[in-house]
Amino acid sequence: MAWPPGEHLENVIAQVRLVLEDVNIVRHDISQVRAILDIEGRWRDYRIIVSEIHRTERDVRYAYYVLDRTNQLIHAFDNSPDNVAIKQRYGTQWKNHLHEEIPHQHHSDGTLTMTPEPITFTTFIAWLEMELQ
């Protein structure tokens, strides 16, 4: 991701405003070496959360959520260094990969599966429109 990420974040915000309703930009802050974006909105009956942290020395870490009206998880994509994801990918060797940020997704039944590549807000929206008709 190019640095500084100002243009990227403005593009995400513009897309959010096009696609989601009741948009609330909770955090949007850029410093010299890192930036944070944290947005909530509504897509149909679903609560949507968009979170991205940009850092000069590391890849973007993201979390995109679909929740229902009672705040139950419908689906989520993220690449946090989640112990369950690390163990699922590396098995008994997981301790050698402690801080890895692994792209994965959470399903409504509580299961977790890997995604072949990192997700962006654009691909998240495409997923919403494809899977939650």
Q: Which lies closer to another protein via its Cβ, residue 12 or residue 52?
A: 52
Q: Which lies closer to another protein via its Cβ, residue 80 or residue 115?
A: 80
Site for another protein in 61-100 (CB under 8 A): 61-63, 65, 67, 71-73, 76, 78, 80-84, 86-87, 98-99
Site for another protein in 7-26 (CB under 8 A): none
Min dist CB 12 to another protein, Å, is 14
Residue 126 contacts another protein per CB under 8 A: no
Nearest-10 crossing angle of helices 6-19, 121-131:
20
Residue corresponding to tokens 């112990």: 83
Residue corresponding to tokens 């890895």: 100
Q: Which lies closer to another protein via its Cβ, residue 25 or residue 36?
A: 36
CB 47 within 8 A of CB 64: no
Residue 33 contacts another protein per CB under 8 A: yes
Task: Write down how long the chain is.
Answer: 133
Residue 110 contacts another protein per CB under 8 A: yes
Helix (H, G, I), strand (E, B), or coil: what is residue 17?
helix
Q: How many other β-carbons are positioned within 10 Å of the β-carbon of residue 11? A: 13
